[in-house]
Amino acid sequence: MTNNPIWPRALIVGGGIGGLAAAMALRRAGCDVDLVEIKPAWAQSGVGIIQPANALRALDTLGVAQDCLAAGFAYDGYDYMTADGTLLNAFAGPRAAPHLPAYNGILRSRLHDILLRGAREAGARLQLGTTVVALSQTQEGAHVTLSDGTQRGYALVVAADGIYSPLRHRLHGQRFVPTATGQSVWRLTLPRPPAMRRGVMMLGESRKAGFIPLNDDSMYLLLVTQEAPGVQFSADELPRLLLERLDGFGGLVEHTRQYVQADSAVVYRPLEVVTLDAPWHTGRVVFIGDAAHASTPHLGQGAAMAIEDAVVLGELVGGGAAPARLGDDYMDRRHARAREIQDASFTIGEYEQGRRPGLDLAALLQRTRHRAVEPI
């Protein structure tokens, strides 16, 4: 491929969805892969995640889409309803491949297990409780010191360290920091009524409730609200606050209220966004996923984009991209697409907060869904 002695050796920083997908993609491309994850254990929150068609296509490339489908709940589209549960419209989402559904709902913990197993079986070396403490670059690559004292040269460093990306901070200082959008999401895993077999979105005055099927037994409830800037809640008050915010919703929300108990594991998250200016690489450090383009979840596309980033990196390395060109080739394939999806997600959140009067939301959703299944 090249006479560079440390090519193709890659370090991936971050063992989330993007990092583990990158470990699989780069191993398939013939790289020697080390992955470091700062957390001391692989624990994941108990809520679910939407896998749209393009995420499933990218996971299929990595050989794990069928595992996700077996562990999750495939569905074809969404029912949009008023807050009282009156059906407004129902749509079926586009597929990215005939053998894959338009959507799959899956518990994050199950997705993580599948990616972790995939990365291990592909032969990546995975190290918990470890991070980068020093990094310098030359023409040939990056010289990295890890927190366990190991020093090693890498031709490629993949920054998959999430929305708060310490590597982004290391290389760019405070120039790119996440900003709050004004919306928050409340999530809770609940029993799934047998008849609930599609996604549901219920549009309230300034709130949106939704349900995503996860498996034969469960679904998750999501509620998007606007909260006062900087407000914080303690974990034990979240179930009560969630119930208060569900007031005014009928239909499936009314049915599920009985399951929101004082000790329910409600997950609350204020939404933030950040975008690294182009290019998403500095020397041999390439940023993927939320570290480069953290989006709001309005299109359920953040993890999908992270997995696509990983697949494209793998394709470029496997296709023999010269190490020095890799970052630019990656930008050519990823930048416009990921920005477009990120912008559309952000715009929907703005619309929901009354900041985009006149927006043709249906047209934006339709356009973006079809854009997402275009070839990457």
Q: CA 93 to CA 103: how far, in whole Å?
A: 8
Q: For residue 364, which of 346, 348, 342 has the smallest C-alpha distance?
A: 348
Residue 250 or 351: the one with the smaller Cβ distance to ligand FAD is 351
Q: For residue 166, which of 84, 287, 64 has the smallest C-alpha distance?
A: 287
Answer yes or no whether residue 364 interacts with ligand FAD by CB under 6 A: no
Query: One-letter amino acid identity for 223?
Result: L
Q: CA 157 to CA 354: how far, in whole Å?
A: 41
Which part of the chain contacts ligand FAD (CB under 6 A), choosing from 35-43, 118-126, 194-202, 250-258? 35-43
Residue 300 or 327: the one with the smaller Cβ distance to ligand FAD is 300
Contact (CB, 8 A) for 365 and 341:
no
Residues 185-224 that bind ligand FAD (CB under 6 A): 185
Q: Which of 7, 33, 37, 346 binds ligand FAD (CB under 6 A)?
A: 37
Answer yes or no whether residue 19 interacts with ligand FAD by CB under 6 A: yes
Q: For residue 118, which of 45, 35, 25, 54 has the smallest C-alpha distance?
A: 25
Number of residues in contact with ligand FAD, rule: CB under 6 A? 31
Letters for 304-333 (x = contact with ligand FAD by CB under 6 A, - = none) are x-x---------------------------
Q: What 3-state class would DSSP assign to 125?
A: strand
Rama region for 91: left / alpha / beta (φ>0; ψ in -120 to 50; rest): beta
Answer yes or no whether residue 101 interacts with ligand FAD by CB under 6 A: no
Answer yes or no whether residue 146 interacts with ligand FAD by CB under 6 A: no
Residue nearest to ligand FAD (CB): 16
Q: Which of 6, 10, 23, 49 binds ligand FAD (CB under 6 A)?
A: 49
Q: For residue 122, which of 38, 247, 31, 210 has the smallest C-alpha distance?
A: 31
| Token pair 């690489």 in the structure block, residue | 281
Rounded least distance, CB 5 to ligand FAD, Å: 26
Q: Which of 18, 204, 213, 323 binds ligand FAD (CB under 6 A)?
A: 18
Answer yes or no whether residue 24 interacts with ligand FAD by CB under 6 A: no
Tokens of 173: 């200082």
Which part of the chain contacts ligand FAD (CB under 6 A), choosing from 31-39, 174-182, 278-286, 348-356? 31-39
Q: How many CA atoms lie within 13 A of 361 on its CB side?
A: 17
Which part of the chain contacts ligand FAD (CB under 6 A), choosing from 197-205, 294-302, 314-322, 342-350? 294-302
Q: How many CA atoms lie within 13 A of 104 on its CB side?
A: 28
Q: CA 54 to CA 38: how far, in whole Å?
A: 29
Q: Which of 33, 50, 242, 253 binds ligand FAD (CB under 6 A)?
A: 50
Instruction: List contacts with ligand FAD (CB under 6 A).
Output: 13-19, 36-39, 49-50, 55, 131, 160-162, 166, 185, 269, 289-291, 297, 300-304, 306
